[in-house]
Amino acid sequence: MPRCPKHRCCRKDADGIFYKPCGIPMHDLKTETIPLDEFEAMRLCDLDGLDQTEAGTRMGISRGTIQRLLTAGRKRLLEAILEQKAIQIQNELRD
C-alpha cells in the first residue's frame, strides 16, 4: 500500500490555467494536464534559477522528488508542444 503524498507548497494562482496553440479551436485539441507540483518545480528551477535542493526546501519536499517532478513535467510540456495539444495546469489534490 503506497504512503500518503506529502504536502507540497505550490502557488495557487497557476491552478486551472490553459494554454493552447494559436489558430486551432479548443474543441479540436487534445489536452495534456500538467500537475501543479510539476509546474511549480519547473518554475522554481527553470525560471527562478534555484537549484533542486533550494526548490525542494521551498516546496517542502526532497531534492529527489524535485528531480522526478522536473523530469515528468518537462516531458509532458514538450510532448504537448510537439503534438500540438492544449496544456492545462491543474492541482490534482484540490485542497
Which helix (H) or strand (E) segment holds residue 19: the answer is strand 18-19
Q: pLDDT tens across 55-94, in order?
A: 999 999 999 999 999 999 999 999 999 999 999 998 765 4
List the chain domain ranges. Answer: 18-90
| pLDDT of 95 strictly over 50 | no
Q: Is the dihedral of CA 74, 72, 11, 16 positive or negative?
A: positive
Q: What pTM, to 2 d.p., does this model score?
A: 0.81
The pLDDT tens digits for 27-40 are 999 999 999 999 99
Query: Distance between CA 80 and CA 57 in Å, rounded?
Result: 29
Query: Is 1.10.10 the CATH number for 18-90?
Result: yes
